[in-house]
Structure 1
Amino acid sequence: MHRVIFAATALFLAASPAFAACGGSFGTFVSGLKAEAVQRGHDRATVDRFFASVRQDPKVIRADRAQGVFQLDFTTFARRLISQHRLNAGAANARKYDSIFDRIEAEYGVNRGVLLAFWAFETDYGAFQGDFNTLNALATLAHDCRRPDLFRPQIFSALELYENGDFDPARTTGAWAGEIGMVQMLPGDIIENGVDGDGDGHVTLKTSAPDALMSGARMLRHLGWRPGEPWLQEIDVPDGMDWSKTGLRTAMSPQQWQQMGVRPRSGRWLSDQPASVIIPQGRKGPAFLAYPNFSVYFEWNQSFTYVLTAAYFATRLEGAPVFDAGNPEPGLSDKQMIRLQRRLVARGHDVGEVDGILGAKTREAVQQVQQELGLPADAWPTPALLNRL
C-alpha cells in the first residue's frame, strides 16, 4: 500500500524517548528496539527470538531510492499497468469471489472494482507479493534516518503479529517497504483492520483472498470510504473554461460544473456530491471528475499518478470505457522537471521534495505560476512554461 501511518500511532511514538533513534550502528539500533519492546511489556525471551534473525538489507534502501515509475505521465503509466490480462483476471476473480465481494459491499460499502484494482496493481492478484524479508525491510527503513517515524512503529506491530502466531520473522516476506500479502498491508494496518474472512481463526493475507479482500475493505472504510458512493467519472471539458478551478483544491457540485460546460463522457452524473475536475495532462488531455471517495485513495498511496490510475482502473473493471487520452502538450523530462521545481522554489512556491516527480504540490505550484504569468492555469508543466521561467 505504501501508506502513511495512522496519526494516533505517530503521536504515541512522539512521546517515546526512543522515537527519534535512527542511524549509527545497526546492532546498537536493534538493541534499542529490543529494549523498547521490553519496556512496552513484551516478554524478553519472545523479543530475543523475534529479533534473532534480523539483518540490515541494502537492497531495501536501493528500492526506496529508485521509484522512477512515478515519473511517468498518467496515460503512459495507465497503459503500462492496465493490461488485458489484468482485465480478464479481474473479471475471473470477481466471479470466483462473488460471495466475498457481496459480503464486503454489504458490510463496508466498498465496490468490488476498487479492491480488484488494488489487488491487481499491488500483487497481480496475489501472483507476486514481494520477496523482501519483512522484518529486515522494516528494520532497515526504521534505521535509515529519512522516515524512521513511519517504519519504527511497524516493527512493534510485527512483534504483536508474531505473538499471535501470524508472523514469522525469518520467513515472512513482502514488499520492500514492509507491506504483506495480496493487497500489501503494513503490520500496523493488519493489527487494526485485519479480518478473518475465511473463518480459520487467523488473518492470513498472503494465502487467503477472503482475508486480504475483507481486510483491505475494512481499512478503506476506516480511512473514510463513503459506502455506496462513486469515486471517479470520466468527463468532457469545454475549450476555454476557467482552468484555475481544476485540481483537487476546488470542489463544486456536478450541476455547477455542468453550467461551466463540463459533461459526463457517457451516461449521467454518478452523484450530486461536491467533486473536483482533474486533468492530469493539462487541458488537452484526459479529464475526470473526482468525488469525495477519491481522497481516500491518497491514504493508501500518495502518488497522484498511481492513485488516479488505480481509481480509473476500478471504474474500468466495473464497465467504464477506455479513457479518451486526448492530445496533450508534451510534458517535461526528469531533468527538466527538476529544473522547473527549482525555479518554482526560487519564486517562493512549495513543491515538496525536488525529485523530478509531478506530485500534488508541484501541480499546485505550476497552476499558481501559470496564473501569475497569465497562462491557462491547467497545472500541466510544459517546455514552454519552463522557458518562461
Structure 2
Amino acid sequence: MTSVKTDDNATNLTVLGIETSCDETAAAVVCGPAHKQILSNTIRSQIDEHTEFGGVVPEIAARAHIEILDRIVAEAMNEAGCGWDDIDAIAATAGPGLIGGVIVGFMTAKAIAMAAGKPIVGVNHLEGHALTARLTDDLEFPFLLLLVSGGHSQFLLVRGVGDYERLGTTIDDAIGEAFDKTAKLLGLPYPGGPHVEKMAAKGDVTRFRLPRPLLDRPGLDMSFAGLKTALRTQAKKLEPVDEQTIADLCAAFQRSVSDVLAARTRSALDLFRTRHPAVKPAIVVAGGVAANQEIRNSLLAAAEEADARFIAPPMRLCTDNAAMIAWAGIERLRLGPVDDMSLSPRPRWPLDPANAGVLGAGKKGAKV
C-alpha cells in the first residue's frame, strides 16, 4: 500500500473519481476536506440504450462504458481545469454492481493511476452514497442512512468511515426495482419510477387498498414483492385497465411504499436514540427513489415528528455519480494507507460484512 499525507482537516486533496457500477458512466473531480468543492461532475446516462429492453442489460452497459469512459474522464478534467499534476489520487468504484461495468471503470482507474504515478482508492459504491451528506451538509458521525435505489433498499447506521451497521434491508425486491416492475406490468415506459409518480399524481389514492408488508413485524426489514403481486391481482381483475385505473393503481402503490418507508424510518430513529441518546438524530436519504416527491415528503414528516434532522443531497448527488466516489476517496485517504494495484473489482461488497447473509451468498461473495 502507498500513503498520502493527510494530517487533519487543514489538508486539501484533489481526487478524480470514476463510477461505472450500473448504467451511468461518470467522472468527477472533487477537492477537500479543508475547502470542499466539486470541480466537475460529468454523468452520461444510458437510458436510451436500455429502454427497448425494459431494464438494464449488463453486456450493453459494459460496452457503452468502454466506448465513452475515456471521453467522460477528459471532460471532467477539462471542466475542473486540472492537469495530472493537480490530482492527488484516483478513486473508482470497485463494487458492488454489474461486474462488467465495474471492471471497465476500475481497470481504467488503475491504468490512469499507473501512468500518472498516483495512488488508487477502490471505493465501495454504497459507501459513496453513505458519505455524500458529509460533502454537501458537513454532517458529523454518527447518522442514519436510508439507501433507496433500483438495486438497494436498506437502513444503515453510519458510525464512521468504514464503520457501518445494516439495521434493515429488503428481503426481496429493492424499491426502485419494484417501481420498474410495476410500471412494466401497467404498460408504462422504462425507467418506471418517474412514470409511476407522474401517473400517481392523476390518481385516486383511496380507490385501491394495497398492503403495507411486514409492518406487523418488529425490526427494520422491508418487503415489496408482495405489494407488487397485490397490484397485479387488482389489475388482472379489471382487465383491460383504462388510464384512470392505471393512475389509481400507481397512486395506491406509491402511497403504500411511502407508508412503509415512513414507518420504518420512525422505528430507525427510535433505535438510533437508544444507541446514541446524546446525539440529535439525522436521517440521510440517497438513491434514485429519493427523487419521488411523495416518498421524500413522507420521510421528511417522519423526521420532523421525531425531532430529527432530514437530509436529502441534491438529486444529481443522490443518484449514481462520480463526485460521491471522489469524496469517499478523500475520506479514505485521510485515514492513511490506500489500496494498491492488487485490489480486484467485485460484484458484491456489503458495507456491513457481519450482516451480509440476509439474501444469501455464492461464488461472487455475500449479497448486499
Superposition TM-score, scaled by structure 1 size? 0.23
Structure with the bigger RCO (C-alpha within 8 Å, sep 6+) is 2
Give the structure with the higher percent helix.
Answer: 1
Give the structure with the higher percent strand.
Answer: 2
Q: Which is higher, the Rg of structure 1 or of structure 2?
A: 1
